[in-house]
Amino acid sequence: MTATDVHPLRELLPEGSVFDDVDVLEAHRRDRATFCPAGKPAALVRARSTADVATTLEWAHENRVPVVPQGARSGLSGAANAIDGCILLSMEKMNRILDIDVDEQIAVVQPGVVNGVLATKVGEHGLFYPPDPGSRSISTIGGNVATNAGGMCCVKYGVTGDFVRGLEVVLADGRVMRTGRRTAKGVAGYDLTRLIVGSEGTLGVVTEITVALRPATAQPLTAVAFFPAVVDAARTVAGYLGEGHRPSVLEFMDQPTVNAVQRIADLGFPEGMSGMLLVQSDRGESAPGDLAAFERVARSFGASEVVVADDPAEGELLMQARRLVGDAHENLGVSLLVDDVCVPRRHLVDLVEGLGRIAEQHGVQVLCAGHAGDGNMHPVVAFDASDADETARAQRAFDAIMALGLELGGTITGEHGVGHLKRQWLGKELDEAGLWTQHAIKNALDPHNILNPGRVLPERDGV
């Protein structure tokens, strides 16, 4: 499809909704993933209402035009990248918080609402929205729903899907469907809400989200432990949680990651350590005891230093180190392949040791940080994209990390999604019946395959 072909769509939508300027399209044709192709879109639609989305999809369905839904394009799997001749359907302008119901402890939002903005607004009402991906200052709730994003608090509170009660979704043919409910309980019919959450824009376009909230917690207290041996940090995770403790945050950073953070923000961390754990407890009067237990366990596993923050403000400074990881990696001045494997906590040691072997075997640098409390780690392969040989080695290292995660009983993605980057690996994780079922669902809801085609599901004959 060419830009000329979208003129009928321009006539169907409000003025100023459809753009085909080359510079605009270029600026919107990819997310933050590497090794993922980005085609040339025919147009960008900035939706401002559910009606805009429905009109766009109905037209695209009738004309067999692919549609790529987009939020803030902060994803790391290529799911928001353009396809040749597609319509980019931007949801960024649908950014209103429609309702905050204090009594029912829910919020109703449009998909373009930024995660951090929602957290701040509900906090003003004494409420708490726990999902907090590292990109919370820029990522949108719609994007979080699309990938079922998690974040640092998921070790205690769960991921986005655990807080989504209901959705408004526009199907591929333009029909509008409501799923779920506002109530705390409800099991009538199939769980279509759960089906849409994590589907990465391949089954429908989300236009409204009802999320559950929690009462605001006490200001968390924070501790950080440093380890001469990185595997001892991994052992501490299983040891601490194995005693029954449930921190609100339990994060891991290896030495190269800490060094990268130190380059952009000198936080005074000690030199010579190989691994770091950061823990928070938001249990009020019980928090000091939680951190004392963490210090005891960490030292029993060889921690060389444990710092327990005396007040929440000091703890927030320590948390800043973890929140800066993404910026610090980008500041390295090299290309990055960001992985997202999740393994059982008892295998964190095996994963960390395996990353070292993979880096050595393929001659590339592998940095690692992640949500250690739930086994979701984010290894990053750093490489020189101008060097063809190094680029090939980086890709092999990335694949080796994926394979290692599966060998350890884990999954290829804990929160970043499959997108384009990992779609062939999905075929290795799921069994044949599971793949058949997923293709059958896709075919039933999107028979002309216009919604984000070529994403999530690997190619398969017979469905």
> Which residues does residue 276 pair with via DSSP β-bridges, in sequence order?
226, 253
Is 444 a domain residue? no
What's the CATH number where 26 sits?
A: 3.30.43.10
Q: Which domain holds residue 398?
A: 334-407
- Structural domains of the chain, count: 4
pTM of the model: 0.94
DSSP strand pairing (67-70 vs 87-90) = parallel
Do residues 353 and 395 share a domain? Answer: yes
Report which of residues 35 and 131 the model is more confident about: 131
Is 452 a domain residue? no
Share of the chain above pLDDT 90, in %: 87
Is 260 a domain residue? yes
DSSP H or E stretch at residue 140: none
Torsion sign, CA atoms 438, 456, 172, 462: negative
Do residues 121 and 187 share a domain? Answer: yes
Report the distance separating Cα 168 and Cα 208, nearest Å. Answer: 5
Report the distance separating Cα 308 and Cα 278, nearest Å. Answer: 10
Residue 77, Ramachandran bin (φ over 0: left; ψ between -120 and 50: alpha; else beta): alpha
Is 418 a domain residue? no
**Per residue in 98-112, pLDDT tens?**
999 999 999 999 999
Is 439 a domain residue? no
Mean pLDDT throughout 370-374?
A: 95
DSSP strand pairing (305-308 vs 221-227) = antiparallel
Contact predicate 404/357, CB 8 Å: no
Is 448 a domain residue? no
What's the CATH number where 109 sits?
A: 3.30.465.10
Do residues 120 and 211 share a domain? Answer: yes
Do residues 103 and 209 share a domain? Answer: yes
Torsion sign, CA atoms 280, 286, 291, 296: negative
| pLDDT, the chain, mean | 94
Report the distance separating Cα 69 and Cα 421, nearest Å. Answer: 17
Do residues 370 and 268 share a domain? Answer: no
Which of 40, 57, 90 is the last residue in one of the domains? Answer: 90
Do residues 311 and 396 share a domain? Answer: no
Give the pLDDT score at 463. 45
Contact predicate 167/211, CB 8 Å: no
Contact predicate 29/38, CB 8 Å: yes
Report which of residues 322 and 214 the model is more confident about: 214
Do residues 71 and 106 share a domain? Answer: no
